[in-house]
Structure 1
Amino acid sequence: MKKKFLYFISSFLVFTQLSLSQVAEDPEIRRMISEIKTENLQATVNKLVSFGTRHTLSDTKSKTKGMGAAQQWVKSEFDKAALESNGRLTSSIDYFTAKADGKRIPADSYIGNVMATLKGTDPTDDRVLIISGHLDSRVTDVMNAKSNAPGANDDGSGVAAIIELVKVMSKRSFPATIIFVAVTGEEQGLIGARYLAEKAKASNWNIAAMLNNDMIGNSLSSGTNLRDNTQVRVFSETIPYLETEEEAKMRKATSRDNDSPSRLLARYIKTTAEQYVDQLTVKLVYRNDRFLRGGDHTPFSQNGFTAVRLCEMNENFDHQHQDLRTENNTVYGDLPEFMDFEYLRKNTCANLAVLANLASSPKKPVNVGIEVKKLSNSSTLIWSAPENKVPYGYQILMRETASSHWEKTFFTKETQIEIPYSKDNYFFAVQSVDNLGHTSLPVFPIPIR
């Protein structure tokens, strides 16, 4: 009896040790977050608005007005940041011809995405992280390329966030590569993002995650007048667009309908952003985008990449896709005075925390499985270390099947763990972690028979 009691106490202590969450924070990420300034974001939005319209089909020759001038200015901001990057940051405008489609592209048009690439420092790490906002703007008529279309929030907010991230993050180095891109043609049918996604697929880029930021700077809803600058939505697809027949069988067998790669990324964003950014809660929205609408992450999802959209909690349709005018004492139009720049700061910081963690993290564990050889009220997970580098340890994530987000974590330095929770009642995932708490994206286990 005494031996059994001592064995129980010993087992309890070991399990308690394994149950401790990795709560380490990277002080450098904290410093980077402190460098994100509300006034800088506001100045950038005001500058973007000063170009009049940034319609995809607007003037490309003027140095002060239209899409061409806006693109050159964004690139110049990237170039300034490159001077402090020790050669790691490079920029370009990736031009291509958008073919006439008889819809929103009336004639073949020469357009481009403004890109800044912060090259990873680890030659064995081919992971690429992409963060985007769309540079183009519009008024009520999506084909109106002449009228003033300030596009302060849609999507000057996303582009301002990207420019601020480039300025802060280019001073640091990360093992993985980060591509910051202000895409063109979102309002004309996601053409800039589709071109980039198809190029990435053809070039076999190892895109670990794609974050699309579209409208992240408004906190007041139209109609309902709800104001909330403490929540941001993250949209993620349920079933991957390019799911194979075998993957579908495994999804159905393991009931992982709510654990697509994009959804695992969305939960990662929630965990990381809420750890580092005060007064901000990430709201997980279980659909690819708003009802019957889409964004620049969609072409990436359609090409098999893990992609999500970050978007403000409350949209204001008086200041979205509107001609500038005043009717019945209501001012319409996407103008800077209707934005909440402190909210934009918080959302920018959330993106920074996620990018910095992912770009610094070990690679994901491989061959992640869960034993199903016998019936048991415990669960045994087994995996292999990622190639090239063995991480400091691993974190096992767990939640009840009815829960939307991870509820408990376990840490181990081994590549196998048995925990006293039944796989009948819980979902699990495994991620690599380093000694500063940088975690890889989670991997959902498959059955091991």
Structure 2
Amino acid sequence: MLKTPFKISTRLLKLSVLAGACSVAMSAYGQTQLQYTDQQKLHDIAAQVSAVRIGSDIQTLVDFGTRHTLSDTKSNIRGIGAARRWIKKEFEKISAQCGGCLEIIEVKDTISGEKRIPDPVEVVNIVAIQRGATEPNRMVIMSGDIDSRVSDVMDFTSDSPGANDNASGVAGVIEAARVLSKYKFNGSVVYAALSGEEQGLFGGKILTAYAQKHDWQVHGVLNNDMIGNITGINGVTDNTTARIFSEGTRVVETKEQARTRRFTGGEVDSASRNLARYIDTVADRYIENLDTMLVYRLDRFGRGGHHRPFNDAGFAAVRIMETNEHYDRQHQDLRTEEGIEYGDTIEGVDFDYTAKLTSLNAVTMASMAWAPAPPKQVKISGAVTADTSFSWASSDDNNIAGYKIYWRYTSEPQWQFSRYVGNVTNYTLKNVVIDNYYFGVASVSKEGVESPVVFPGDVGSFDHNIK
């Protein structure tokens, strides 16, 4: 297992590099850095996540025997129906403790005629909505998948504990609700336990359609799929890292938008990609002993997850998961062959690690919900000049103190330089040549909480309705 000293040295290296970058920024461009305002309440949120409660919830989900999408829905002790009802009751308990702060709904549809769902089956998502005080229709969503499976994707009767895949994600969603329900936010926080993932991502498709129908302004979907395993099939044991998968350009991009992007850039700056960068920054600031790996891919090679339906609709969505997967514990019948134990049992889940990734989710959602909405209609200009100019739409949000312009070298994965420009709707960076950098703009609240960075133009907008 990687020990803390290794982690500390890695962080010191990152801080040294960051300090160097800031020094370059200061000398080349003058005063560019606004000191970030540390948010004690975000540290408090991270500290409140309980590995004990998460472990108990995972055990409860495992004890339902199987949670296959096609499994029993009538039994009170076995099958996906019993699991759904238990999750709903947990949300109801949480809501009762916060004075009814959660709106708990079933978002569902009947699916049939599909390869993995040939006969009619009701796919039911259990969703709890914590409405924001000032922007109730601005959403950040944390999701996990209820259903489980064994080797045969159509086997809905065999025991399928699904401890890591994905009781860990659902337990994380419930625990995040327990912690965040103690706070009030400007924007809304949504806790979603989705069904039908293994049979074709149907739960995500159903919730995406619901969000579109109700005009949700979804500015982030954090899909948690397998957040409990620390020992991989590659022999590596590591509880200090996690992966964040994000798509580069939106699948809904039009030909004209693609043509514009070809000449202005943005292949690595979709809203999803900048959401991933935001989560990475949160990890560095607020989550002890955790580095996140930004993976520039929709999902693992040739595979998929429940964030994809949201991406398909143009929403910013990412997958958060463990770094080292163990394939003997995924989609396997429970068995022992040649001394190797197969199956997704609870023994393969590290509750402390699951709690760490749950903290990352909770802090990210709280930060986004306290921050103003990401700037809209961000535009940039500056070809064949020494300066780079920006504009963005004005906002009537009284929570906004101002805006912050970010930029980085085009080969760098994270934002390097920044300048706080106040509560304006346009600004010009003098002697910063547009050709040499990628740029973005973030909103900053009066408490100093920032939104994700928005890359200029349609390619980076967090508005999924751009056509």
On whether the aligned pair clears a TM of 0.5, the verdict is: yes
The CA deviation at 1:231 is 1.2
Code of the aligned partner of 2:170: V
How far apart, in 1, do the equivalents of 2:433 and 2:183 lie?
43
Query: 76, 81, 84: which is aligned to 2:97?
Result: 84
1:364–1:309 CA distance, 2 compared to 1 (3 A): same
Q: What corresponds to 1:112 in structure 2?
A: 124
Q: What corresponds to 2:110 in structure 1?
A: 97
| Unmatched tracts of structure 1, length 5 or more | 1-11
1:182-209: CA deviation from partner (whole Å, max 9, x where unpaired): 1110000111111111222233221111
Q: What corresponds to 1:386 in structure 2?
A: 395
- Conserved 8 A contact 2:231-2:324: yes
Q: What corresponds to 1:399 in structure 2?
A: 408
Q: What corresponds to 2:181 in structure 1?
A: 170
- Conserved 8 A contact 1:129-1:177: yes
Q: What corresponds to 1:197 in structure 2?
A: 208
- Conserved 8 A contact 2:383-2:434: no
Alignment of 1:39 with 2:52, yes or no, is: yes
1:4-26: CA deviation from partner (whole Å, max 9, x where unpaired): xxxxxxxx999988422342122
How far apart, in 2, do the equivalents of 1:202 and 1:107 lie?
26
Code of the aligned partner of 2:392: W
Query: 431, 442, 446: which is aligned to 2:453?
Result: 442
How far apart, in 2, do the equivalents of 1:41 and 1:139 lie?
23
How far apart, in 2, do the equivalents of 1:15 and 1:404 lie?
20
How far apart, in 2, do the equivalents of 1:226 and 1:435 lie?
44
Q: What corresponds to 2:464 in structure 1?
A: none
Query: 249, 258, 266: which is aligned to 1:239?
Result: 249
Q: What corresponds to 1:300 in structure 2?
A: 310
Q: What corresponds to 2:358 in structure 1?
A: 348
- Conserved 8 A contact 2:108-2:206: no
Q: What corresponds to 1:279 in structure 2?
A: 289
1:445–1:106 CA distance, 2 compared to 1 (3 A): closer
1:200–1:327 CA distance, 2 compared to 1 (3 A): same
The within-5 A match list for 1:38-437 is: 38-101=51-114, 103-122=115-134, 124=135, 126-222=137-233, 224-372=234-382, 374-376=384-386, 378-389=387-398, 391-415=400-424, 416-437=427-448
Moved more, 432-441 or 230-239: 432-441
Q: What corresponds to 1:4 in structure 2?
A: none
How far apart, in 2, do the equivalents of 1:48 and 1:176 lie?
30
In the superposition, the TM-score normalised over structure 2's length comes to 0.88
Moved more, 308-317 or 245-254: 245-254
The CA deviation at 1:71 is 0.6
How far apart, in 1, do the equivalents of 2:250 and 2:76 lie?
42
Query: 29, 33, 36: which is aligned to 1:20?
Result: 33
Code of the aligned partner of 1:363: A
How far apart, in 2, do the equivalents of 1:349 and 1:280 lie?
11
How far apart, in 2, do the equivalents of 1:57 and 1:13 lie?
60
The size of the alignment, in residue pairs, is 432
How far apart, in 2, do the equivalents of 1:384 and 1:96 lie?
38
1:203-226: CA deviation from partner (whole Å, max 9, x where unpaired): 32211111111001111111x201
- Conserved 8 A contact 1:148-1:324: yes
How far apart, in 2, do the equivalents of 1:207 and 1:185 lie?
21
1:24–1:67 CA distance, 2 compared to 1 (3 A): same
Code of the aligned partner of 1:403: E
In the superposition, the TM-score normalised over structure 1's length comes to 0.92
Code of the aligned partner of 2:173: I
Q: Radius of gyration: which is bigger? A: 1
How far apart, in 2, do the equivalents of 1:141 and 1:365 lie?
46
1:84-116: CA deviation from partner (whole Å, max 9, x where unpaired): 222221213333211231x11120112300111
| Unmatched tracts of structure 2, length 5 or more | 1-24, 459-467
Moved more, 280-289 or 366-375: 366-375
Moved more, 265-274 or 361-370: 361-370
How far apart, in 1, do the equivalents of 2:252 and 2:121 lie?
29
How far apart, in 2, do the equivalents of 1:230 and 1:96 lie?
39
How far apart, in 2, do the equivalents of 1:251 and 1:195 lie?
31
Code of the aligned partner of 1:400: Y
How far apart, in 2, do the equivalents of 1:419 and 1:39 lie?
53
Q: What corresponds to 1:5 in structure 2?
A: none
The CA deviation at 1:50 is 0.6
Q: Give identity over the alignment, percent.
A: 40
Cα RMSD, aligned residues only: 2.0
- Conserved 8 A contact 1:385-1:391: no
- Conserved 8 A contact 1:18-1:412: no
How far apart, in 2, do the equivalents of 1:390 and 1:56 lie?
43
1:325–1:436 CA distance, 2 compared to 1 (3 A): same
Code of the aligned partner of 2:180: M
Q: What corresponds to 1:3 in structure 2?
A: none
- Conserved 8 A contact 2:305-2:319: yes
- Conserved 8 A contact 2:74-2:82: yes
- Conserved 8 A contact 1:121-1:175: yes
Secondary structure at 2:404 match in 1: strand
